[in-house]
């Protein structure tokens, strides 16, 4: 490798790696591959993953390269309406693929998608549809091209996703009920039920959708439904997911078996389920949103994407957002360490690891999804830092990443309690690592880019709930 020493060398190397990852379809750029590691079998890393492409798309939009993002949105929309049935796996209408690739038949190119029916463990990409809406809004914000979103096919695609997410099911919570491995953590990790990451993306997607619905009778009806859901979801997450030392104390003294309306311990959380590490780890100042909540189940682990996206889309209150940044600052070594930042904390170990992961050797403690450090999370950390006026946190995080990422050839993830080791099975030249670094730097230099994907406190749905109660 040529010697890369200065910051501008690192940035140039990142741009080169990003350009090299672009996928062309019929001569046009449509996405980026997940990774280009020359030494490891590609598996599906040569495909364009919807969630991975978001990081690439954001830096392309910030850099004025809007065509690739438009093409991506158009092509994935076309894939959404494909008949998705194979081997008796049947995806709901409206689902967006986890990934796609260009294939050739008789010299003609076509796109082929994976909705989870090929993915390891056949996991459903619930987050893809949500990211797709968030990205469509970012594209419209960057280009002013609302006409694209208002096209009938785009409105149809948007409404199909809304229908899928807003459908009445057996569940009664305003959060969405999803299977295990439905997002970035796409393996069995005990993240089924109502995981925070999906709820934060759902919230951001609903807020995006409200801006994108074309004015029509149908648009009006969906705006009403979306407002109602935004307000109940916001209330539910802020009231029941928030954890700080005061809340932990309340839960510690909870009574169980309460029936009826006046129940304080609504989800019947037993104090004995509070893990010992939490009582020591929770700082005096600050807190975070719990990983998951269901009947007699509270996942006390800290999950980075859910918490950072909650800040970015104002799902957490302004005070809670400051509290999450306080926690990150005070538990820096655990959550950031040698590479920003940990996907979740702490790792599950021993029997718990066996039961929750099904003995997954890739998700051993402090590796990969089970407490590994993922450089792609840098952009979300910097964005959350900018949003909360805590610039210093973003600057420190970038400095840490800059020291290693390029030299280590842009690994997918790092291992170890403090993220010092390159992940055991991490790919090199992982595109969202590269793009995440560039987005983080761009956000640091120009905080106004934040408006592409962030939201202020939602006054519209608050007004809606005020009218309901009046």
Site string (140-179) toward ligand GLC, x via CB under 6 A: ----------------------------------------
Phi-psi category of 337—alpha, beta or left, where left has phi over 0 and alpha has psi -120 to 50? left
The distance of closest approach from Cβ of residue 49 to ligand GLC in the complex, given in angstroms and rounded to an integer, is 4
Could you tell me the smallest distance in angstroms from the CB atom of residue 117 to ligand GLC? 15
Q: Coil, helix or strand for 280? A: helix
Which string of b and e fits 59-86 if b means at least 16 CB within 10 Å? bbbbeebeebbbbbbebbbebbeeebee
Cβ within 8 Å of residue 310, ≥6 positions away: 196, 200, 203, 237, 289, 316, 320, 321, 324
Which residue number, 128 or 454, has a Cβ lying nearer to ligand GLC? 128
Q: Which is nearer to ligand GLC, 39 or 257 (CB)?
A: 39
Output 50 or 212, the one with its CB closest to ligand GLC: 50
* Subset of residues 17 to 36 that bind ligand GLC, contact rule: CB under 6 A: 34
Please report whether residue 299 would count as binding ligand GLC according to CB under 6 A.
no
Question: What character string, x for contact with ligand GLC (CB under 6 A) and - otherwise, covers 172-201?
Answer: ------------x-x---------------
Q: Name residues contacting ligand GLC, limited to 33-52 (CB under 6 A).
A: 34, 49, 51-52
248-257 long-range CB contacts below 8 Å, 24 or more apart?
Answer: 248/274, 248/278, 248/279, 248/282, 251/298
Residue closer to ligand GLC (CB basis): 52 or 360: 52
SS3 114: strand
Q: Which is nearer to ligand GLC, 231 or 433 (CB)?
A: 433
Q: Which is nearer to ligand GLC, 42 or 278 (CB)?
A: 42
Q: How far apart are CA 191 and CA 178, in angstroms?
A: 9
Say how far apart CA 129 and CA 157 lie, in whole Å. Answer: 10
Which of residues 323 and 436 has its CB atom nearest to ligand GLC in the complex? Answer: 436
- Tell the smallest beta-carbon distance from residue 369 to ligand GLC (Å): 6
Size of the site for ligand GLC (CB under 6 A): 6
Q: SS3 string of 309-323?
A: HHHHCCCCCHHHHHH
Minimum distance from CB of 126 to ligand GLC (Å)?
Answer: 12
- Give the number of C-alpha atoms closer than 13 A to the C-alpha of residue 442, restricted to the C-beta side: 25
Distance from the Cα of residue 252 to its chain's centroid: 30
What distance in Å separates the CA atoms of residue 244 and residue 282, rounded to the nearest whole number?
7
Instruction: For helices 304-312 and 196-212, give the axis angle rounded to 10 degrees.
Output: 30
Q: How far is the CB of 44 from ligand GLC (least distance, A)?
A: 7
Q: Which is nearer to ligand GLC, 46 or 143 (CB)?
A: 46
For residue 52, the minimal CB distance to ligand GLC (Å) is 5
- The structure tokens listed for 385 are 């830092």
In whole angstroms, the minimum distance from the beta carbon of 199 to ligand GLC comes to 18
Residue pair 100/48 in contact (Cβ under 8 Å)? The answer is yes
Integer CA distances (angstroms), 403 to 6, 87, 396, in order: 10, 47, 11
Tell me how far, at minimum, the Cβ of 403 lies from ligand GLC, in Å. Answer: 23
Nearer to ligand GLC, 286 or 372 (CB): 372
Residue whose Cβ sits closest to ligand GLC: 34
Interface with ligand GLC (CB under 6 A): 34, 49, 51-52, 184, 186
């Amino acid at each position: 490798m040529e010697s890369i020493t200065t910051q501008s060398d690192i940035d140039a190397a990142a741009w080169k790696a990003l350009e090299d990852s672009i996928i062309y379809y019929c001569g046009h750029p449509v996405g980026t591959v997940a990774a280009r590691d020359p030494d490891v079998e590609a598996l599906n890393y040569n495909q364009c993953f919807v969630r991975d492409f978001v990081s690439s798309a954001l830096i392309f939009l910030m850099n004025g390269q809007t065509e690739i993002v438009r093409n991506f949105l158009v092509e994935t929309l076309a894939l959404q309406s494909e008949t998705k049935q194979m081997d008796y796996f049947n995806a709901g209408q409206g689902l967006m693929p986890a990934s796609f690739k260009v294939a050739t038949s008789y010299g003609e190119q076509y796109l082929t998608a994976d909705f989870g029916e090929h993915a390891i463990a056949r996991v459903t990409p619930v987050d893809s549809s949500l990211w797709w809406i968030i990205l469509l809004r970012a594209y419209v914000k960057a280009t002013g091209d609302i006409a694209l979103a208002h096209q009938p096919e785009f409105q149809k695609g948007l409404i199909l996703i809304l229908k899928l997410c807003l459908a009445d099911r057996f569940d009664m919570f305003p959060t969405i009920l999803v299977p295990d491995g439905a997002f970035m953590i796409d393996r069995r990790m005990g993240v089924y039920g109502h995981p925070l990451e999906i709820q934060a993306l759902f919230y951001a997607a609903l807020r995006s959708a409200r801006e994108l619905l074309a004015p029509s009778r149908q648009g009006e009806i969906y705006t009403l439904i979306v407002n109602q859901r935004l307000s109940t979801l916001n209330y539910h997450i802020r009231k029941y997911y928030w954890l700080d030392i005061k809340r932990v104390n309340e839960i510690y003294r909870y009574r169980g078996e309460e029936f009826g309306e006046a129940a304080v311990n609504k989800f019947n959380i037993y104090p004995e389920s509070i893990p010992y590490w939490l009582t020591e780890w929770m700082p005096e100042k600050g807190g975070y949103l719990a990983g998951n909540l269901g009947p007699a189940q509270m996942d006390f682990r800290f999950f980075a994407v859910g918490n950072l996206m909650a800040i970015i889309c104002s799902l957490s209150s302004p005070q809670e957002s400051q509290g999450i940044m306080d926690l990150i600052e005070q538990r820096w070594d655990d959550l950031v360490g040698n590479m920003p930042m940990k996907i979740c904390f702490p790792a599950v170990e021993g029997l718990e690891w066996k039961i929750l992961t099904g003995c997954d050797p890739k998700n051993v403690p402090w590796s990969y999804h089970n407490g590994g450090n993922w450089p792609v999370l840098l952009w979300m950390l910097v964005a959350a830092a900018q949003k909360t006026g805590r610039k210093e946190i973003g600057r420190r995080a970038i400095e840490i990443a800059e020291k290693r990422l390029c030299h280590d050839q842009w690994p997918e993830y790092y291992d170890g309690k403090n993220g010092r080791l390159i992940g055991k099975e991490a790919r090199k030249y992982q595109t969202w690592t590269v793009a995440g670094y560039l987005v983080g730097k761009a956000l640091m230099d120009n905080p106004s880019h934040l408006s592409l994907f962030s939201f202020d406190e939602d006054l519209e749905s608050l007004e809606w709930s005020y009218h309901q109660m009046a």
